[in-house]
Structure 1
């Protein structure tokens, strides 16, 4: 049911649907020690089978990556960084049970010998910017958030620093809230954004954000309770005609899917965060990470069923505006700076 929609793209029609990849991780040490039976099998580029007590089930994907696939293979096939620079909203998120390899897929290993999609995306953005620097002016900025117990934490603000600021001012911590503007674009109000002029700077910001997470001490046990959301805005100004386009890349390392299932509807914040990625105008890629072993059979089935998201179709539009509109908006912003963000028709 890979339903597709045709959409306008600068007068050109483009088909776009939510793509879903499946990545099977290698058997881990614990499973191997228990003589873990492998129940998941990649049968071709697009299909996996899983042996269940009620017989074999087959699931279809846009692409299947077996345990032998490299980080480079996966990144190469995501193929969405150019779209961000072209002015689209793009979202790549990893889904699956705790320990299924989501963080490896998105971040990579601790030593960064095998960097994941996040650091690779940082590099790719600045590679493309370098190639186009004679024709465009670029500005890259980022915000990084953690959603923990249904509360959004700005990861550019350390909790210790935040606590100190509160005692100084006897004030409330700045709350980050997910808002929609009149165009339906979802943004994180109150989140600090920082500019980066190189992939190294962007990665340094990412490391700073990770150090401020609730989970930095025990990477795996705790990470299952916290979603990591990295938002990167790329603004490009065409030096020939002055038109400006803004793309946004959201990279999300979701909490363990078993938590999502058990907490039920509590994660309404997450739904909002994902809204401009899943609904409306984004090009979205979901990477379902699964364990191949029998001991994880139930969780793996739950994750595989989630791929029904493929039926959702998005209308991806470029966020482009002319120089005049951009200037007008600046004036409006200045006039209305006394009012809340929702009143400004950004």
Structure 2
């Protein structure tokens, strides 16, 4: 009930610890957590404060961040669209927040969400039938790629963004796989991460050069009244905004950076239009905004985690990220469940059988 009452997109801020490179440069700490909801930034014009729904310091653990995220997983199983995405400059800790470290000693929101989904399903196994399916994509150089395939097949496969009658976004041409356990879902996730584009930059040893988009669909049938709900959990690890001079990007990396910045700029335009209540929202300006259309300004429950560096040397980028996140916080979504009655669910089943040439019993019609 508390989750339903919160209409605006929620925004968490996570300040990462100072990196070795930043400490070696002798840069002062310019960003700090005042309390659970406030960030202070030391600027040349004096301190600036920003307020968010939660603020995490460099001492906060992955579990601390996920504890406040966990309630949204239940909403996806209840039949809502839910989106959790990370935003910030290159090297600000987005992928650590969403994915975790390489050996998964500190798993991020994504693998923790996989466990949470199946924990909730297991708890309710006597009341509901469930079907979990997933797609995993990356948006690289403005091209959507299916991360369940690799090599030549990935290059030749055409993936397009479509919307169904209910406004739900799906990836036509991408493989959607069913998962029956958290372990199975995590194995798919590891395969997807292995196929994702990474590179080293001056800001980051392993920088994500693409946006990672995971869609988990949960179909739930109530065993008491036969009603069916359809929930969708979108988990998005955005590539970092960056300045080429700072990251040392050249040639292919420069092309990647330009593509990343262009798509993030389009996302900024959408956020600006939504926060200003403009009649036209420019979703079509980028594939990133198209695929996030049912998460931003739609009927979704959305959480943004803005990741920032504490160092004075990244002050400009940090301020840009915090101002951006403050605008996101003003967007209002109207969350609605994707629910069908028993009769409609049965009718759809009959139609599917007829289309596939299967026999239909008299009592089904």
Normalising by structure 1, we get a TM-score of 0.86
Structure-2 separation of matches of 1:253 and 1:97: 12
1:177 aligns with 2:160: yes
2:142 to 124, 134, 150: 150
Structure 1, 173-182 or 79-88: larger mean CA deviation: 173-182
The verdict on how the C-alpha distance between 1:223 and 1:328 changes in structure 2, with shifts beyond 3 A counting, is farther
The 5-angstrom pairing of residues 1-346 of structure 1 reads 14-78=5-69, 79-162=71-154, 173-215=156-198, 220=204, 223-258=207-242, 259=257, 260-261=260-261, 264-265=265-266, 268-307=286-325, 308-332=327-351
Identify which of structures 1 and 2 has the higher relative contact order when contacts are C-alpha pairs closer than 8 Å and 6+ apart: 1
> Aligned partners of 1:218, 1:134: CA distance in 2, in Å?
49
Q: 1:218 Cα shift?
A: 5.1
Maintained 8 Å contact 1:143/1:191: yes
Looking at structure 1, the residues matched to 223 and 131 of structure 2 have their Cα atoms a distance apart, in angstroms, of 13
Cα deviation for residue 302 of structure 1 reads: 0.7
What is the DSSP-based 3-state SS (H/G/I as helix, E as strand, rest coil) of the residue aligned with 1:302?
helix
CA distance in 2: counterparts of 1:13 and 1:310, whole angstroms: 16
CA distance in 2, matches of 1:323, 1:176: 33
Q: Quote the offset at 1:322 in angstroms.
A: 1.5
Aligned partners of 2:229 and 2:340 also within 8 Å: yes
Q: Is the 8 A contact 1:129 1:138 kept in 2?
A: yes
C-alpha change, 1:336 and 1:222, in structure 2 (3 Å) is farther
- Alpha-carbon deviation of 1:326? 2.1
Q: Secondary structure at the match of 1:26?
A: coil
CA distance in 2, matches of 1:313, 1:38: 34
Q: Distance in 1 between matches of 2:4 and 2:179?
A: 33
Structural RMSD (CA): 2.2
Residues 149-158 or 184-193, more deviating: 184-193
What is the TM-score with the length of structure 2 in the denominator? 0.82
Q: State which drifts further: 218-227 or 239-248.
A: 218-227
1 CA distance for matches of 2:93 and 2:351?
46
Q: Deviations over 1:87-129 (max 9, x none)?
A: 1110000000011000000010111110000000000011111
Instruction: Work out whether residues 257 and 303 of structure 1, in 8 Å CA contact, stay in contact via their aligned partners in 2.
Output: no
Instruction: Identify unmatched segments of 5+ residues in structure 1.
Output: 1-8, 164-172, 338-346
> Equivalent residue for 1:168?
none
- Structure 1 contact 22–290 (Cα < 8 Å) conserved: yes
Structure 2: 5+ residue stretches without partners: 243-256, 268-284, 357-365
How many residues are paired up?
317
| Alpha-carbon distance between aligned partners in 1 of 2:148 and 2:105, rounded to the nearest angstrom | 25
